[in-house]
Amino acid sequence: MASKYPRSLRCCLPLCAFILQVAFILLFWFFISYDTPQMQQKFTVTYQVIQDLTLMAALGFGFLSSSFRRHSWSSVAFNLFMLALGVQGSILLDHFQNQLFKEDVAINLLSIQKGTMSTVPVLISAVAVLGKANLVQLAVMVLMEASAFGVTKFVKKKYFHVEDHIITMYGHVFGAYFGLLVAWCLSRSLPRGPGEEAQTEKVQMATSSSLFAMLGTLLLWIFWPSFNSALVKEPNDKKKAVLNTYYALAVSTVTATSMSSLSHPQGKINMVHLHNAVLAGGVAVGTPCFLITSPWVAMVLGLTAGLISIGGAKCLPVCLNHILQIQNPGGIHYTFGLPGLLGALTYILMHGKNKNSIFNLTNQMINDFGALSFVLAMGMASGLLTGWLLTAKVWRAPHTSKYFDDQAFWEFPHLAAGF
Amino acid sequence: MASKYPRSLRCCLPLCAFILQVAFILLFWFFISYDTPQMQQKFTVTYQVIQDLTLMAALGFGFLSSSFRRHSWSSVAFNLFMLALGVQGSILLDHFQNQLFKEDVAINLLSIQKGTMSTVPVLISAVAVLGKANLVQLAVMVLMEASAFGVTKFVKKKYFHVEDHIITMYGHVFGAYFGLLVAWCLSRSLPRGPGEEAQTEKVQMATSSSLFAMLGTLLLWIFWPSFNSALVKEPNDKKKAVLNTYYALAVSTVTATSMSSLSHPQGKINMVHLHNAVLAGGVAVGTPCFLITSPWVAMVLGLTAGLISIGGAKCLPVCLNHILQIQNPGGIHYTFGLPGLLGALTYILMHGKNKNSIFNLTNQMINDFGALSFVLAMGMASGLLTGWLLTAKVWRAPHTSKYFDDQAFWEFPHLAAGF
Amino acid sequence: MASKYPRSLRCCLPLCAFILQVAFILLFWFFISYDTPQMQQKFTVTYQVIQDLTLMAALGFGFLSSSFRRHSWSSVAFNLFMLALGVQGSILLDHFQNQLFKEDVAINLLSIQKGTMSTVPVLISAVAVLGKANLVQLAVMVLMEASAFGVTKFVKKKYFHVEDHIITMYGHVFGAYFGLLVAWCLSRSLPRGPGEEAQTEKVQMATSSSLFAMLGTLLLWIFWPSFNSALVKEPNDKKKAVLNTYYALAVSTVTATSMSSLSHPQGKINMVHLHNAVLAGGVAVGTPCFLITSPWVAMVLGLTAGLISIGGAKCLPVCLNHILQIQNPGGIHYTFGLPGLLGALTYILMHGKNKNSIFNLTNQMINDFGALSFVLAMGMASGLLTGWLLTAKVWRAPHTSKYFDDQAFWEFPHLAAGF
């Protein structure tokens, strides 16, 4: 019986988090300083983008995964913790990378913007792991994934000559497969037991936490054009990025709702499908959004992403759960993984279109495919490594029976009163 | 008993929505293209307004009507579906109208802004119909109302020479009376039955979904100045529009709270009154907001709107429910209908003030009254037509006993597990 | 038994609120007019700041205190009422003060910004009082506190030559101690009774209202940089204010989470700690944010604020509840009071750093300490006065057994149906 009680994190969590935080402060002390003044106008625009991104990261991703009946507190609060840690880590990594490239090494508002966008893959991966890992494991995952994504970005910039915007958009794919592999490792490491039945009850959605998840989805839906256009530099491309993202999201909303109804014997809509599939259009259009010159292309992409996402949600759980033994209630594979791949392939096709000779075209496509494969390989390899690391006993992982249970991590006042 | 089960939408909804979506994509393909580059600065300002409006439309109106105990999922998700469909339809309609006027026919960020503002009347109407119609009926309503409002805008622009801002603000009145007439048709078409008692339980508010409705109200409250000032062109008028809207909203909040307390025998405040009446000030000040040159005028308007709104909420249900047999739990009549009329009348009075001769004044007022009457007539006529259309059996309307019930439309995981 | 029923506010509340509102409208009529046109660009920037601040005040502070099981409606709605009243009052006060200083007396967008920032101390105080006072008492408190803070600002500007930014940031300390003293007076004035046990059940958090409180916290977290930088004038200082606030918030989030786990015997995290302590970093960095030139200083400040806040939450309730008999479930003392004092002391130390002679330094520090002591003294004195005033029978304060109970103030439809 005793082993069923949550293993105490009292020494482990504060020690790890505190040492990490002090280390970050020391690194900031030695290496980071603010840059010289910049213009007022630029400040306002950049600050607005940062606010949109922080809103998406803290509220959107936080509430997106809050639909489980007994795990909503952890989803929201752990997401904020990972964001706060991830942004600091990403800013430090970016800084050291820039020093290697001999680029501008001062810290400004753009650093926070880039740091937030680099943390988004971490938050995506976390959706697959939340409920099965404690906060120490998540902090380790944040560090591992931020480093792996930093290395990926560095290699792609140096050897594949890929722009910042493309690298960041490949982050969806990176985050999705990283998270899936970590979840696979965690689920393999534990013996199956009688806790499974109890778990089924816990992963059920409650009506009001589903509304919170809808709030997260809607916030992501509203601010997704900001995310897709944040790193596009040329003003006209930025405008196209916003418009294309908007149309793709609108079409994928209509498609997702109708397809979800088609996939149920009585024509009922599944809320979880909707939470994920309405965003698929925005993910799919992410990489090529600044290249698309007509709204209908973005709309077709949104339609395809919606179909893939709902199709994946109906068919993939069967394959993944039973063959690979990955449990994936958050559905990041068909929200971020598959639509992200669709977007990457569309980008590779569109990117080659303007090349004049067949040699250049082939060259370009090989380079682009190489970059995409590298992201996938890095995501899977680092995910596997991280997953293997997280199965170590030292992290005091929660017992299977405590999966998706807020009571393992949170002090409930009305329980304390009952003691 | 069998008839009590929800009629399956499995074939109907996906077919309608999918065909509609593909038709929209084809129309976009043939007719719509992006415009030429525009300046960076203009982009930032327009994009911010679009975000505010999308936030109001998707989150504000979505959660505003989510206070029913068992209908909150449908309210939020169907609202997003209608928004995604309505914006696409409005952009297409706008485009064809502009071609008739030989105006600029390219699509840019402003098209999305105008499309969102044209969809707001649809979302207002939907508040009266939500819970009594399925998603196919709502999609038909979106198409009918968007077309009717498009025709109204066209006629008013061509024959009454009314500006864009005024037409859009009349949309509150249009949407409110359209929705009321549709709800009247729907309630007339069905026999009264034993389902009514069950319904009473369903329209009760739950504490936490009331908080979601409050969230929607607050988001509308905060961003209403953006809505009222979005189509005002001259910078100084825009500033006045924002300030007047802010003061009117502040006063209507104080008024609504105190009047709601006065109207209850024990001085208790009604949450539903509050959800609606705090917005009445913003609606009332909408049409004349750019003409008002002193804050106190806007404040008096806010005070009057708050009084009308609470007064209407106490007295009108009795008349409407028993005489006209309209059930109107969302209260759009006294949130958008009456305050919108108050605003329109104030505008007509203020608009004539600057005319130098009595002939011009009379002429102006006749024209303005004509425009307002035309909006009212169009809203009621098209509402009646739409309502009559929606009572057709082909739409598989939900049974009365399934009114305001999420289970008619949604797959609940914990029910599926119980089978 | 009869005395246990809520005392009716039917005559009292509408009368007070309505007279107050009409008085405000008359004062606006006689004294306030809009200023002359200003530039478009300036408008956009100011309007964005106003939206951020209104979002923080209406949604952030509204939901921050909504975590009690049976008091969430009152928290949110009363907060909006106080905001609407407080902004109007602060604009009027500011206007009369400016007339005394012979400054620009016209009303523009900046007036609303300043008014909202002056109302924030009122909303902070209200967190300590909410649940123990009715709406009439809160309205009186708004008037008293707005006036007292107005006088404090006037004296500090005239005699201590303190800038607007500093005065506004001292508002956290002012609001916290004002609220604590009012709560102390209210708790002293009432006899202890059997209602206390029932109250314990009521102050328990519900899972979903805790998520609403988390929503409020997250919104405050996201927009706090806007608050801290709103009144900083020089663009480069503004940028530093935003960056420093962001880093301090990120560090205080990590610190708060890990310290909250350390302070529990089984390493569990307390949600209430988290709601408050993640903001402590932003409060602490508020006053000196524009002076700090390296991110690590802000991060150390965030770390210290997180430690103080969690330490205070664990130790202070024991002292405050048992010795001073102040019940403070909202925790404003360790969220706004102590971190605010930390920030003020840091500012005083940093402000003196650049003085060249020891005489100037001493002079400066005496002046700064005087200003801080004056704020503290004014906050406590006016809080004591207001608290004493609010214990008068004329306000029909709710009975102790009705503390933290929405049913004392709100009409619940499902109860009405049961009659």
One-letter-per-residue 3-state SS of A252-266:
HHHHHHHHHHHCCCC
Taking phi over 0 as left and psi of -120 to 50 as alpha, with beta for the rest, B150 belongs to alpha
What is the average per-residue pLDDT within C75-82? Answer: 91
Shortest distance between the Cα of C7 and any Cα of chain B, in A, equals 8
- The pLDDT, as a whole number, for residue A224 is 94
Which chain B residues are closer than 8 Å to A250 by Cβ?
Answer: 84-85, 87-88
Select, from the ranges A68-77, A329-338, B390-399, C235-244, the one with the highest average predicted confidence (pLDDT). Answer: C235-244
Who wins on pLDDT, C296 or A107?
C296
- The pLDDT, as a whole number, for residue B82 is 94
| Paired tokens of B184 | 């009247």
What is the average per-residue pLDDT within B161-171? Answer: 89
Shortest distance between the Cα of A270 and any Cα of chain B, in A, equals 5
- The pLDDT, as a whole number, for residue B5 is 45
Neighbours of B119 (CB within 10 A): 29
Instruction: Name all domains of chain C by residue range, CATH numbers in brackets.
Output: 43-396 (1.10.3430.10)
Tens of pLDDT, residues C94-121:
888 888 776 656 677 888 999 999 999 9
Say whether C10 and B265 touch across the interface (CB within 8 A). Answer: yes
Mean of the per-residue pLDDT values of chain C: 83
What is the average per-residue pLDDT within B165-186? Answer: 90
Confidence of residue B379 (pLDDT cuts 50, 70, 90): very high
Cα distances (Å, whole numbers) of residue B285 to A38, B113, B120: 40, 20, 17
Neighbours of A415 (CB within 10 A): 12
- The pLDDT, as a whole number, for residue C110 is 85
- The pLDDT, as a whole number, for residue A81 is 93
Residue A58, SS3 per DSSP: helix
Element (H, E) at B282: helix B271-284
- The pLDDT, as a whole number, for residue C199 is 53
Per-residue DSSP letters for C39-99? -HHHHHHHHHHHHHHHIIIIIIHHHHT--BTT-HHHHHHHHHHHHHHHHHHHHHHHHHHHH
Measured distance CA(B393)–CA(B260) in Å, rounded? 41
Residue C324, SS3 per DSSP: helix
Neighbours of chain B (3+ CB pairs under 8 A): A, C
| Paired tokens of C46 | 């100011």
Measured distance CA(C419)–CA(C415) in Å, rounded? 7
| Paired tokens of C131 | 């649940």
- Which of C39, C81, C409 lies nearest to residue B254, judging by beta carbons? C81
Neighbours of C267 (CB within 10 A): 24
Say whether C254 and A81 touch across the interface (CB within 8 A). Answer: yes
Beta-carbon contacts of B4 under 8 Å, excluding residues fewer than 6 positions away, are B399, B401, B402
- The pLDDT, as a whole number, for residue B148 is 94
- Which of C9, C44, C58 lies nearest to residue B221, judging by beta carbons? C58
Who wins on pLDDT, B245 or C316?
B245
Shortest distance between the Cα of A73 and any Cα of chain C, in A, equals 7
- Which of C205, C257, C264 lies nearest to residue A17, judging by beta carbons? C257
Is residue C1's pLDDT more than 50? no
Confidence of residue C332 (pLDDT cuts 50, 70, 90): confident
Tens of pLDDT, residues C388-415:
998 887 777 777 777 777 777 787 755 4
- Which of C8, C25, C39 lies nearest to residue B303, judging by beta carbons? C25
- The pLDDT, as a whole number, for residue A321 is 63
- The pLDDT, as a whole number, for residue A5 is 45
Residue B102, SS3 per DSSP: coil
Strands B269-270 and C410-411: parallel
Beta-carbon contacts of B358 under 8 Å, excluding residues fewer than 6 positions away, are none
Say whether A251 and B25 touch across the interface (CB within 8 A). Answer: yes
Confidence of residue B127 (pLDDT cuts 50, 70, 90): confident
* Minimum mean pLDDT range among A218-222, B26-30, B342-346, B351-355: B351-355
Residues of chain A with pLDDT under 70: 1-8, 36-41, 67-69, 102-106, 190-208, 316-330, 354-355, 413-419
Which chain A residues are closer than 8 Å to B33 by Cβ?
Answer: 293-295
- Residue B25: closest C-alpha in chain A: A296
Neighbours of chain A (3+ CB pairs under 8 A): B, C
CA contacts within 13 A on the Cβ side of C18 = 15
Residue A61's nearest CA partner among C174, B192, C5, C218 is: C218
| Paired tokens of A366 | 């090989």
Say whether C32 and B235 touch across the interface (CB within 8 A). Answer: no
Yes or no: say if C205 and C271 are a contact pair by the CB < 8 Å rule: yes
Strands C269-270 and A410-411: parallel
Is residue C194's pLDDT more than 60? no
Tens of pLDDT, residues C159-192:
888 888 998 999 999 999 999 889 888 877 765 5
- Which of B34, B77, B87 lies nearest to residue A240, judging by beta carbons? B34
Task: Give the number of beta-carbon pairs within 8 Å between B and C.
Answer: 177
